[in-house]
A and B are shown apart, each in its own frame.
Chain A
Amino acid sequence: MKALQNTFQKLWMYPSAVVGLLVVFALVFTAFYAMIKIPYNEAIRLWRGGEEVWYQNPKFAAPAWINFFSSKDYAESFAVRTTDGSMPKQVTPGAEGTSTIDITYPFTFTSDYFPQDMILYLSSNYQQKQPFLSAKWLTPDGREIRIANLAISQKQTYRFAQDEKLKTRLHTEDVIPQLFTDPETGKIVKGEYKLQITGTTFEPDSDINIEYVFHGQVYGLAGTDQARRDLTVPLLWGTPVALAFGLIASLGTSVLTMVIAAIGTWYGGWIDELIQRITEINIVLPFLSILIMIGTFYSRSIWVILGATILLSIFTGAIKGYRSIFVQVKESMYIEAARAYGASSPRIIFFYLIPRMIPLLIPGLVSSVPAFVFLEASLAVLGLGDPVLPTWGKIIEDANANGALYRGYYYWILEPATLLMITGLGFAMLGFALDRIFNPKLRDI
């Protein structure tokens, strides 16, 4: 306990360690927040969800905060519906069970670009006679455009861009830009637009509900991808996955390497020789190619890859480093004393040899976390990421596959990349400082 306190006190002397520690804490906090906010099953449902989950979002939308940095103004996406009151609905009963439904939705449009798409999702309930609906588009400069007159079935989708009648009425193939342009000057009209919908039902219990979806150029905190998915989900959930992969892999690798090195040095003879030979063979084995083979042939599950990673990373150069130190420790007086009072070999290995090395283990463990976090991302970029879990690497893979850099969707790569970079640098900085604290030889240099 005292030693731990001491270590912490020393850590405060290294600014990079403080930064690293803060990053690690922030990541752990984010990981727990993600797991509590979006439970595992919900995260998978959202990540694997298609159009039916994400229809409200535009495709390839940058995050909304780019408006702060850009001189141009991008339209923000929104979706409003009558069922939850975000779009006010007024029902006026008429004669013989009929009723009139008035829905007016005003919104301010100040963007320099046209929205990607606008869609009305209509639903109604009725016995025999379908309700009827007519919609109008009111522009800030006082024009009034008739949009649709239609009878609504139980569930119906109205797409502005595909309405042939509207196309002829506006004399254009591209309806949506035309709705936001002054036909005389050809410029975008900014100001308050109104979508005015009047519905009529012909039965006592008949009702209409409408959802108005506006696909702008920007969306939310993180933007969206090619499948309209909100990137906050994989960005948030990537944190626990990356941390789990990195920490388990580095912990497993370092501990197993150390234990095997200790056993080899203690028993010596053929065991030591065998460990040395295995290490030499393992250095020749192409690590990534073998992981690729396992990923393509057997399983892409992150846990299988994790197991293979640990197995392949045990017998590396590190085992030689540990061995050379264990050889020195083995000759120490306290080991001799332990042997003299009759301690068994396993006891000496696990209670005398290994605890001595823990100060050396910790910096190595922390410094190797980034390598494993990036390994997961690397495999994902090669298309061998976990098929189910949302991870940072999967975002980069999707972005790369959709040519994000060529097409200018920089946010798509920069968001996961920044998180990966912060994680990597945070652990590396902490590891470096720990190395200097635990290895006094380095401290003066």
Chain B
Amino acid sequence: MAVVTHTPGENVKVKNRASNSTFLRVSRYVVTRLLTLSVTVVIGIYLTIMIANMGGYVDTIMRNEIGDRVTQTIAANPAMQQLDPESRRKLIQERIASEEKRIGLDVPVAVRNFRYLSNALLLRLGRAINMTSDSGSKQVRLIILERLPATLLLMGTSQLFLFFSSVFLALNLSRRYGSFWDKLVVALSPTSAVPPWFYGIFMILIFAALLKVLPFGGMVDSPPPSNPVDYSLSLLQHMILPGASLILSSFFLSIYNYRTFFLIYSSEDYVDMAKAKGLPSRDVERRYILRPTLPNIITNFALLIITLWTGATITETVFLWPGLGRTLYRAIGLYDIPIIVGSTIIYAYMLALTVFMLDFIYALVDPRVKVGG
């Protein structure tokens, strides 16, 4: 409204300067955050490795890998095949011993853990014991990376939907404070105490077992349709139930939380002032209520995603969704230690990434963010 007095040219200039400083501010903030977060991640992964290696489990992974590799090289070498079994076994043992020494399995645990840390940070996660990736590789990194897209697809879709739908509904409810729907949401908010996989069981029971309208689990029909359109339709159909249970488990609580933020902010004096000025209610909502609450909402959402990340393991298991969580579940069953350690590290990375992305968005929406202040 105040813009009316400016000429168009002036307006553009002002905007440019503003965006320039925003860019500087955000990028400085992001770089600092990135640095602190990477230190945090390094320490976090070191702790993870320490927990895993308390019983020498990472050492076992390394020893197995060396054993496998040495035996295979010797078996593949035609010159060695002439040797009699006794001296061949001796040779293998010698090589394993020297290889273990080279890799440092004879140094103290604390030093060794640092070496594992650098391996983990570079995603050199070793070889799986029993499991293989769909392409037939035993590399833990490949097995996990192959599963990651499925997890990201499910989590990403459901969380974006959750975020936008609950903010939208919360805005609507805050306008109708005290109405029937408002009271209903308040009354239903304790339902979020129940984790998503639990709703999943009920969803499967109702929609798959009793009504037989949606599949029990999996990601696409078997065999997968070759036509891309059919494929995406089948994917969509399989995503409804796991997605719905992920959303449902936090739906009412997030609406309730956002609504509370909106209500707190809409009782501020400047909102009354904006209303008194005669601004349309849409503008009041967007500029005077939504804008200042966004940082709060984003923090709230960040905490929600972090809890959902861990909960997704079991949701995927219940729905046989071929993502990271289900891989972890299968690894537990097969006692595949490298995969368990590897996926813990990947989860640590994912969490750090989530925290970083939300920090980034936070810096974009909150003009008060000051670097070094």
A-side residues, CB < 8 A to B, are: 16, 277, 280-281, 283-290, 292-298, 317, 367, 370-371, 374, 377-378, 381-384, 396, 400, 405-406, 408, 410, 413-414, 417, 420-421, 424-425, 427-429, 431-432, 441-442, 445
Contacts and interface: CB of A to CB of B under 8 A. Distances in A.
10 contacts: A284-B37, A285-B348, A289-B313, A289-B328, A289-B344, A370-B193, A383-B329, A410-B205, A414-B205, A424-B193
Given A289-B344, A296-B332, A382-B329, A284 B355 contact: yes
A286 B303 contact: no
Interface in B337-356: 337, 340-341, 343-344, 347-348, 350-352, 355
Most central of A277, A405, A441 by chain B CB within 10 Å: A405
A425 B37 CA distance: 36
B198 interface: yes
A53 to B, nearest CB: 27
B143 to A, nearest CB: 15
B51 A292 contact: no
| Shortest Cβ-Cβ A-B pairs, 10 listed | A428-B190, A286-B347, A428-B193, A370-B193, A288-B310, A289-B344, A284-B44, A424-B193, A429-B190, A445-B263
Contacts of A441: 264
Interface in B198-221: 198, 201-202, 204-205, 208-209, 216
B309 A286 contact: yes
B54 to A, nearest CB: 8
Given A281-B47, A285-B48, A370-B193, A290 B332 contact: no
Contacts of B41: 284
A281 B198 contact: no
The majority secondary structure among interface residues of chain B is helix
A273 to B, nearest CB: 13
A388 to B, nearest CB: 19
B326 to A, nearest CB: 11
B29 interface: no
Contacts of B301: none
Given A292-B332, A420-B198, A317 B355 contact: no
A288 B313 contact: yes
Interface string B175-206: 00100000000010111111101100110110
B240 interface: no
B201 A417 contact: yes
B236 interface: no
B317 interface: yes
B260 A442 contact: yes
A289 B347 contact: yes
A383 B317 CA distance: 11
Contacts of A367: 193
Given A281-B43, A384-B332, A445-B263, 5 more contacts: A294-B51, A374-B198, A378-B311, A378-B314, A420-B198
B242 to A, nearest CB: 14
A265 B141 CA distance: 42
Nearest to A427: B193
B43 to A, nearest CB: 5
Contacts of A277: 40
A294 B351 CA distance: 19
A296 B335 contact: yes
Interface residues of B, number: 59
Contacts of A381: 197, 314, 317-318
A316 to B, nearest CB: 9
B163 interface: no
A286 B55 contact: no
Contact of A293 (B197, B344, B350): B344
A254 to B, nearest CB: 16
B52 interface: yes
A425 B191 contact: yes
B216 to A, nearest CB: 7
Given A283-B351, A284-B348, A290-B48, A425 B40 contact: no
Nearest to B190: A428
Most central of A284, A286, A292, A421 by chain B CB within 10 Å: A284
A280 B352 CA distance: 10
Nearest to B335: A296
A432 B189 contact: yes
B332 A382 contact: yes
A413 B199 CA distance: 12
Nearest to A369: B193
Nearest to A371: B193
A421 B351 contact: no
B208 A16 contact: no
A417 B198 contact: yes
Contacts of A286: 48, 309-310, 344, 347-348, 350-351
B306 interface: yes
A405 B205 contact: yes
Nearest to A377: B198
Contact of B194 (A297, A370, A406): A370
B330 to A, nearest CB: 10
B8 interface: no
Contacts of A442: 260
A287 B51 CA distance: 12
B303 to A, nearest CB: 5
A432 B190 contact: yes
B333 A383 contact: yes
B209 A445 contact: no
Contacts of A400: 318
A445 B313 contact: no
B209 A408 contact: yes
A405 B216 contact: yes
A289 B314 contact: no
A408 to B, nearest CB: 7
Nearest to A399: B201
B216 A425 contact: no
B328 A292 contact: yes
A112 to B, nearest CB: 21
Given A286-B347, A382-B317, A293 B355 contact: no
A425 B193 contact: yes
Nearest to B341: A293
Given A285-B44, A383-B333, A425 B328 contact: no
A166 B195 CA distance: 53
A211 to B, nearest CB: 37
